[in-house]
Structure 1
Amino acid sequence: MPHNPISNVQHDVMHSLYMNHHNWLYTWIRRRLDNQFDAADLTQDTFLRIHAKQNVDLINEPKAYLATIAKGLVSHFYRRKSLEQTYLEYLAKQPENLAPSTENQFIILQTLEAIDALLNTLPGHVKEVFLMSQLEGKKYQQIADEMTLSLATVKRYMKQAYVHCFVLMENDFFE
């Protein structure tokens, strides 16, 4: 089977990018995580994201590009850790006989991450109104009073959030 010269060029550029920037990126991420194992994982994930794009030879500012991708991964890492910690605290308060299996806990955590990602695509006030309604069980008027919004605005935000969630679900957001 003949080798594709384009893939060889991409491979060489990727190899060079990895060799020239891996140690720097690992150190940069480790300072933000203070954990060598997670830093190693996120460093690899950064390079995998770049490799998947297959446009490695178009990168003009490698450090800036790597840092941008790594920042997003570090941010996601902390969001996931916070979500996981909140879920584990919730589980610890539940009677032992109601605790889901380890497999179900994993599935629930993945679902919570998907919901969190979905909610993060909403504008800030819309997300806040939606969470106050759905998680805290507050009535629309109560939300309006607390956020100094009109009742019509709260209703509009809720409609926007529901439509947004519906559209994303229809587009297989959770798959």
Structure 2
Amino acid sequence: MQSTSSASHHSSQSIGHLYSHHHGWLQGWLRRRLGNAADAADLAQDTFVRLLSSGPGEPPDFTTPRAYLATVANRLTLNLYRRRSLEQAYLVALAQTPQELAPSLEHQALVLEALDEIDQLLALLPAKTRQAFLMAQLEGYTQEEIASRLDLSVRSVQRYLARAFEECIVLASQCAA
């Protein structure tokens, strides 16, 4: 049996090998897909950072390295687009705010950071849990209305909302620490 530090070292070596042999390909692939060299470079780098920070355990199976890297990069690309969409929605709302009520640049940056953290949290929730939570919080639907619209029992909606709130509490406690 391999020790944790030995497995971690082996995993780092594997990722280093993967980086040296496939980073250029991944960056080019992303550049063609995104049409933006800067975003492609950032996402290629983020892909390898994600692999390095994946934690202890079994190293990923790199038998099809390009498919594996493309999958990780695709997820990061979706995260990037979702974050930019969220930021754009905030900026549109901010543009409609009278100048005298507009928050400071520092406050705006803090709000964008908080929105990004909430978005990351919501992305981890199962689809129905996320949908029920957003319907309740953003659209003001009652539990009965959510149950009807999602074809669920009220009890299921209650469980979904409780789970989403638990995750929000965990996020809030991590931010406060």
Could you tell me the TM-score, scaled by structure 1's length? 0.76
CA distance in 2, matches of 1:18, 1:113: 28
CA distance in 1, matches of 2:155, 2:59: 49
Q: Does 2:130 correspond to 1:127?
A: yes
Aligned with residue 69 of structure 1, among 42, 67, 72: 72
Aligned with residue 94 of structure 2, among 66, 91, 96: 91
Report the counterpart of residue 44 of structure 1 in structure 2.
45
Structure 2 CA distance for partners of 1:59 and 1:153, relative to 1, 3 Å: closer
Indicate conservation of the 8 Å contact 1:50/1:56, yes or no: no
Cα deviation code 1:132-162 (max 9, x no counterpart): 1111122223323333333333233222322
Instruction: Determine what percentage of the aligned residue pairs are the same residue.
Output: 44
Structure 2 CA distance for partners of 1:60 and 1:165, relative to 1, 3 Å: same
Cα deviation code 1:96-155 (max 9, x no counterpart): 222222222111111111111112222211211111111112222332333333333323
Alignment of 1:95-174 (within 5 A): 95-170=98-173, 172=174
Indicate conservation of the 8 Å contact 1:91/1:99, yes or no: yes
Mark the structure with the bigger radius of gyration.
Answer: 1
Structure 1: which 5+ runs fail to align? 1-7
Q: How many equivalent residue pairs?
A: 168
RMSD between aligned alpha carbons?
Answer: 3.2
Structure 2 CA distance for partners of 1:11 and 1:139, relative to 1, 3 Å: closer
